[in-house]
Each structure stands twice: as C-alpha cells, then as structure tokens.
C-alpha cells in the first residue's frame, strides 16, 4: 500500500534531503510525489533540460526505501515561456489571466501544448527506465482556480471545429440550438462565438445570458479540451514506459467531466482537505467526495494530497486535533482509497503557500502530527489486507453527472436551487442511515435503490437502462426538475416529468418556484422552500400531499409500480429530517436495513467486517459489537474521540 508525502527536493538544500528521507522512512513511508510545478527547474531555458536534481533526490529516497510518483510540471509554466509565447487564458471580458501563480495556460493554445509536449517527452525519455519512478501524474488539478473556461481566440477556433464535427452543417446547428430566437443564426462554423460577457448581464454574472445550447456545448467543449490536453501527455509517456499514469482530481469539483477525464488514466488520485481556510466540511460531504472519486472509474483510488496540518493561503483552517489525521486517512480508505500521500512533508518558508502546513512545521521538528502519521503507518501494515483491492457492499447508488451540473448552473430554475446540494442531500440522508452508497453512473442492477435527483438533461441511453432496471425489480427515486431537457439543453414539448412520466406514472400539471413556505403531510411531514410540483397521479399513488396554499390536497410525493420495480417521485425539496425519514422508508421497502447511530458515527460494511468511525471530538457508542481487527480484543461499541475500528 502506498503511504507517503508530497516532497519537493527543489525547495530544500541538498544537505537537508538525507535527514528528511530518514524521517519519512521512520514514519513508515514508502512513497513520495514530486515535481508538479518544477518546470522552471527542469527546463530553465527553452529546450535546455536538466533533471539532475531529481535524479539525485529520487536515488537518495530510494536508498531509504521510498519510491517516487513523478508529476509532469505543466501546471506551472515558467516566465521565459510566457515572455516568449502568449499562452495565457482569457476571461469572459477578454482579459488575459495574470501570470504569477499557476494554471494560467490555455488548453487549446498551440504554444502551450507544444512546450508541454516537449517537457513531457524530455521527462519521459529521461526517467522511463528509472525503476524508482513507480507511477506518473499528469499535470496538477486540471480545473483548479476556476480555470476550465477560456475565452481566447484559440479556444474559439477549436470550439468551431469541434462543433463542425458534431453537427456537420451550420443549418443543423442553427436548428438544434434554436438560433432563430433574437436573430442569433450563424452563417458558418467560423462565425460561432464563445459565450463571453454580452449586453444582457450585470458585471461578474455567471453564464446565463446566452443561448442555453451554446452555453452547455461550451461547457462540454471546455471539459473536453482538458481531457484532450491530458491525453496528449499520457500518449507521450506511454511511448516510453509502462508505469501507470494518473492525475490528481478534486472530489466534488464541477467543471471537468471526471468520467471522461479518468478514462485515459490507469488509476485515479485525488486531493483531500477536510478543513482549510475556506471552511471545514461535514464528514458526510467528505465521504461523498471519496465516493465520487471511487465512482468515476468504479475503482479504488489513491489520495495524492491528504491534509496533514493547518492549511490555507492568507489565513488558515483549524489545526487537525489529536486523532483527526488518522481518522481522515481511514475515512478515505473506508470509501475505496488504497494509498495515502500527505501534503506536504514540511512547511515551506517562502512562496505563496507558506501557511500550508505539512506533517512538519517550519522548524522541522517531529511533533504530534508526525508521530500520529508514523503510528498510523505502522498500523496500516497490519490492516492493509482489509484495504487493498477491497470493495464495500453497496446498497444504493446516487447518479451524479456533469452535463446536469452544467445545465442546472446555466438555468437554475429558482434562485436558491442547487443541483449539487440536492444530490448531496440524498447522499447525506443515506450516510446518516449508514447505508453504503456509491456515486456514479450506469450499472444500476447492482443496487437496490438508484437515486436520480433532478436528472434533467436526459441521456436517452441512460433512461433506457434505468427503465430496464426498474422493470426487472429495481427501485428508482427521482425528483422535481427531472426529465425535461435534451442533450442540447432544450426543453421537451411533452408533459412534465417528460422522460420520467411513464416510469413515475404521474403528470406534473403545474409547479411553483417558491416564494412562500409550503407544508407537506402524509408519510413524512416537511416544509418546502424552493420548489413544489403539483402532481396528478396517473398510475402512481400519493405518499404525501401539500397541506396549505392554493394547491392544498394535491400530491407532492408519489410511488408507482412499474414492471417488477418501483418508482418514487419527490415533487419538492424537503427538510433534512423529512428527507432522512423518506429515504429510510424507501430503503426498507427495497430490502435495505438502515442502521441508526448517534450523529458522527459512520458505519461502513465491507465483505464480512465493519469499519467504524467516530467523527466527534467526544466519546460515543456505536451500535456494533464484535472483535477488533486492530487490537484483537473484544469491542463493546465504545469509541474514542475521532476513533476508528475494524470490527468482525
């Protein structure tokens, strides 16, 4: 199992390396990840390559039993490159992104691609036969700093060509997009614009002032541009070596289609910071991030950057409390992680990330966090057999897909509506009932319940698959704002919920994007604050109805028998407790046994054992007893603050 830290030899004096390597070895580490952002060190001048610093560092680490994951440095183009070539992205106002940080290069810029290919090829050639380089990482965090969308002329030209391939003729595109509205017809593919700022929006608005098909296709194209850029580097590396290739993804990040991005990778890595300057995350949110990362390839992943200290840029988040670093590592491993690499080994004295603390602080003295990580490393040697290659017993699936994320952000329906929040709320309800829940697309037949909240941009193939799944006895849950849009982001002429109408056995006669709180009674009691569908059951029956306002008595939540299965339709948003009760009912009906536990106790069922976590800073009792696989002793359910147990 990979266990280690991000280590940047170029940040330290050479005579410090040996003591760092020794500390890593003594902390039970076997892996470092390096060279992301080291472009300027490896290619100080155009076409002058010097890898000697990395040769030496890799060698010294290997002598300490530590292998290297090597990153291509293309997220950090050096100054000579931007002096000579205009590679900078353009924002919605046509302004170049300033140089001075990172990730400012445009994926479709010929010079940036050419120079990225050259450094990648030079590295691949140089390190291909180095047995201590065990894997490669392409670039770093595509899409971070909101840099997925670029409005430069290279992007516009590439977009035109991309559309031409997909639409064939400009008449076809004009028709599919409905450019007749406001006289927006294009006379040729070269004529097509990017959805940049226009006359119709206030400054700094999000994209919504353009044709919705143009907007959605631009999101797809932009995501695809990075997938393509990544593939360019993968292809180069694969010419020289068989070492596995990865990239570090960003969990919940919405801008790049991670199903596409991970297709060309041998395995997924991702960067996990549960508590930094921008806030602390609820444990269910972190668990979902891990499940998203496992779900994109339906395969276990490695954490490329795991938080190891107080973290932030101009200010910091909380210092991880005793036990928390260990807990966070196990949380990742419980959700499909099978390797942990901490960010970073030691805090740096200079540079933008001076405050991003690592395992060691600036003085380099091993203290509490180091010893906790060291102990966890020793423990993992015993527990590895319960982690590597293991899979949880999943009962439910949450479908989360990128065209829907983009479409819902282009046309938000109601000012407080958020697709990603709605999808998360169904994950959270399942997590609180300790139901193992995957987040992915496809392969429905493995799960007892499939949630497709606000699945609005309808992929016909996916609807066909889910119909088959229900017909064969599956349970589907869908909600308001589902089934209405095609892949071009246009609205169907059928009655809501359009593509789901037959499955759900209902018609939505009217709806109300809410300004007034609406009450719901029946199977669960709730309030809706965002949205109400006013439902006419056709073959379905009502489980809940509205109880105030002009549509009192009309159905709000329904269930329909379809083939051997069931379809639930939830016409409104729910309070957290009501949603949990609804998910409990649906799960029990589908043969799942929810487990109630005190808040903060997380229970994961894997093969024939159970992983328990206490996310609270106080003792708590879990409703599980047995024998601890960590200590071999009897376990009565009592968990320490931030405790972890593997129980059989």
Active site residues: 141, 305
Helix (H, G, I), strand (E, B) or coil at 456: coil
Residue of 97, 141, 260, 581 interacting with ligand GLA (CB under 6 A): 141
Considering only residues 267-296, where is the footprint of ligand GLA by CB under 6 A? 271
Residues forming beta bridges with residue 306, ordered by sequence position: 272, 342
Partner from ligand GLA, Zn ion, none binding residue 353, C-beta < 5-8 Å depending on class: ligand GLA
For 595, the enclosing helix (H) or strand (E) is none
38 or 150: whose CB is closer to Zn ion?
Answer: 150
98 or 632: whose CB is closer to ligand GLA?
Answer: 98
Tell me how far apart the alpha carbons of residues 223 and 227 are, in angstroms, rounded to a whole number: 7
Return the structure tokens found at 124.
């691949």
DSSP code per residue over 268-327: -EEEE-SEETTEEPPHHHHHHHHHHHHHTTTS-EEEEEEE-S---SSS--PPPPTTHHHH
What SS3 string covers 391-433? Answer: CECCCEEEECCHHHHHHHHHCCCCCCCCHHHHHHHHHHHHHHC
Tell me how far apart the alpha carbons of residues 635 and 221 are, in angstroms, rounded to a whole number: 53
Q: Does residue 10 interact with ligand GLA by CB under 6 A?
A: no
CB of 68 vs Zn ion, minimal distance in Å: 32
Tell me, what DSSP letter sits at residue 95? P
Partner from ligand GLA, Zn ion, none binding residue 106, C-beta < 5-8 Å depending on class: Zn ion
Residue 428 phi/psi, 5° resolution? Answer: -60, -45
Residues forming beta bridges with residue 534, ordered by sequence position: 510
Residue nearest to ligand GLA (CB): 271
Site string for ligand GLA, 21-40 (x = CB under 6 A): ---------------x----
Please give the C-alpha separations between residue 139 and each of 98, 99, 232, 524, 640, in angstroms, as whole numbers.
20, 17, 11, 48, 40
CB of 225 vs Zn ion, minimal distance in Å: 8
Q: Does residue 353 interact with ligand GLA by CB under 6 A?
A: yes
CB of 262 vs ligand GLA, minimal distance in Å: 17
Half-sphere exposure of 322 (CA within 13 A, CB side): 6
CB of 155 vs Zn ion, minimal distance in Å: 3
Partner from Zn ion, ligand GLA, none binding residue 531, C-beta < 5-8 Å depending on class: none
Q: Does residue 158 interact with Zn ion by CB under 5 A?
A: no
Residues forming beta bridges with residue 69, ordered by sequence position: 33, 135
Residue of 305, 306, 338, 602 interacting with ligand GLA (CB under 6 A): 305
Considering only residues 445-504, where is the footprint of ligand GLA by CB under 6 A? none
CB of 105 vs Zn ion, minimal distance in Å: 9
For strands 133-137 and 449-452, give the pairing. unpaired
362 or 382: whose CB is closer to ligand GLA?
Answer: 362
Partner from ligand GLA, Zn ion, none binding residue 68, C-beta < 5-8 Å depending on class: none
Residue of 6, 69, 135, 152 interacting with Zn ion (CB under 5 A): 152
Count of residues that interact with ligand GLA, criterion CB under 6 A: 9
User: Helices then strands (H, E): number in the chain?
Assistant: 17, 29
Residues forming beta bridges with residue 343, ordered by sequence position: 307
For strands 609-614 and 565-570, give the pairing. unpaired
104 or 645: whose CB is closer to ligand GLA?
Answer: 104
Cβ–Cβ < 8 Å for 579, 284: no
Partner from Zn ion, ligand GLA, none binding residue 150, C-beta < 5-8 Å depending on class: Zn ion
345 or 356: whose CB is closer to ligand GLA?
Answer: 356
Residue of 88, 155, 214, 452 interacting with Zn ion (CB under 5 A): 155
Nearest CA among 285, 500, 332, 482 for reference residue 401:
482
Considering only residues 83-112, where is the footprint of Zn ion by CB under 5 A? 106, 108
Residue of 130, 140, 154, 211 interacting with ligand GLA (CB under 6 A): 140
CB of 529 vs ligand GLA, minimal distance in Å: 35
For strands 638-639 and 620-621, give the pairing. antiparallel
CB of 107 vs Zn ion, minimal distance in Å: 7
Q: What is the binding site for ligand GLA (CB under 6 A)?
A: 36, 140-141, 248, 271, 305, 343, 353, 356
């Amino acid at each position: 199992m990979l266990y280690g830290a991000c280590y940047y030899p170029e940040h330290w004096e050479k005579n410090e390396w040996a003591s760092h390597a020794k500390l890593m070895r003594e902390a039970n580490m076997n892996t470092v990840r390096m060279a992301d952002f080291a472009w300027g060190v490896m290619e100080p001048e155009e076409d002058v390559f010097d890898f000697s610093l990395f040769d030496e560092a890799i060698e010294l680490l290997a002598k300490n039993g530590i292998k290297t994951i090597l990153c291509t440095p293309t997220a950090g183009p050096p100054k000579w490159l931007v002096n000579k070539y205009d590679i900078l992205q353009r924002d919605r106002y046509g302004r170049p992104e300033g140089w001075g940080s990172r990730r400012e290069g445009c994926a479709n810029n010929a010079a940036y691609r050419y120079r990225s290919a050259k450094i990648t090829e030079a590295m691949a050639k140089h390190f291909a036969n180095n047995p201590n380089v065990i894997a490669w990482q392409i670039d770093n965090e595509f899409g971070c700093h909101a840099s997925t969308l670029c409005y430069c002329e290279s992007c516009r030209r590439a977009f035109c060509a991309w559309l031409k391939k997909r639409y064939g003729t400009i008449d076809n595109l004009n028709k599919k997009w409905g450019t007749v509205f406001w006289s927006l017809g294009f006379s040729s593919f070269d004529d097509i614009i990017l959805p940049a700022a226009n006359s119709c929006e206030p400054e700094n608005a999000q994209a919504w002032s353009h044709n919705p098909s143009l907007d959605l296709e631009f999101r797809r194209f932009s995501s695809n541009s990075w997938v393509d850029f990544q593939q360019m580097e993968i292809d180069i590396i694969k010419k020289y070596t068989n070492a596995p290739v990865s990239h570090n993804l960003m969990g919940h990040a919405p801008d790049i289609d991670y199903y596409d991005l991970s297709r060309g990778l041998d395995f997924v890595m991702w960067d996990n910071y549960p508590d930094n300057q921008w806030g602390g995350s609820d444990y269910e949110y972190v668990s979902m991030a891990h499940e998203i990362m496992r779900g994109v390839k339906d395969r276990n992943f490695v954490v490329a950057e795991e938080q190891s200290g107080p973290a932030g840029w101009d200010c910091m988040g909380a210092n991880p409390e005793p036990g928390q670093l260990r807990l966070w590592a196990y949380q990742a491993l419980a959700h499909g992680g099978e390797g942990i690499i901490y960010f970073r080994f030691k805090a740096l004295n200079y540079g933008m990330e001076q405050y991003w603390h690592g395992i060691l602080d600036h003085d380099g003295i091993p203290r509490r966090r180091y010893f906790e990580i060291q102990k966890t490393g020793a423990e993992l040697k015993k527990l590895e057999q319960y982690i590597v290659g293991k899979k949880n017993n999943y009962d439910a699936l949450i479908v989360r897909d990128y065209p829907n994320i983009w479409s819902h952000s282009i046309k938000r329906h109601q000012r407080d509506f958020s697709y990603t929040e709605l999808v998360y709320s169904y994950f959270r309800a399942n997590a609180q009932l300790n139901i193992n829940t995957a987040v992915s697309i496809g392969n429905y037949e493995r799960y007892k319940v499939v949630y497709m909240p606000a699945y609005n941009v309808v992929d016909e193939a996916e609807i066909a698959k889910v119909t088959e799944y229900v017909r064969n006895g599956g349970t589907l849950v869908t909600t308001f704002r589902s089934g209405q849009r095609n892949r071009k982001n246009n609205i169907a002429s059928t009655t809501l919920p359009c593509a789901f109408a037959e499955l759900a056995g209902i018609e939505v006669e009217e709806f109300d994007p809410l300004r007034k709180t609406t009450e719901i009674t029946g199977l669960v009691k709730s309030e809706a604050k965002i949205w109400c569908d006013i439902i006419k059951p056709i073959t379905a029956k009502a489980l809940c109805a509205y109880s105030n306002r002009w549509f009192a008595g009309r159905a709000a939540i329904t269930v329909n028998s379809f083939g051997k299965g069931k379809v639930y339709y939830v016409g409104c948003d729910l309070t957290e407790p009501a949603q949990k009760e609804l998910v409990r009912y649906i799960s029990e009906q589908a043969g799942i046994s929810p487990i109630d536990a005190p808040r903060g106790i997380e229970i994961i069922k894997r093969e024939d054992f159970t992983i328990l976590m206490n996310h609270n800073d106080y003792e708590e009792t879990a409703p599980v007893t047995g024998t601890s696989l960590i200590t071999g002793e009897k376990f009565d359910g009592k968990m320490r603050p931030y405790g972890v147990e593997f129980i059989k």
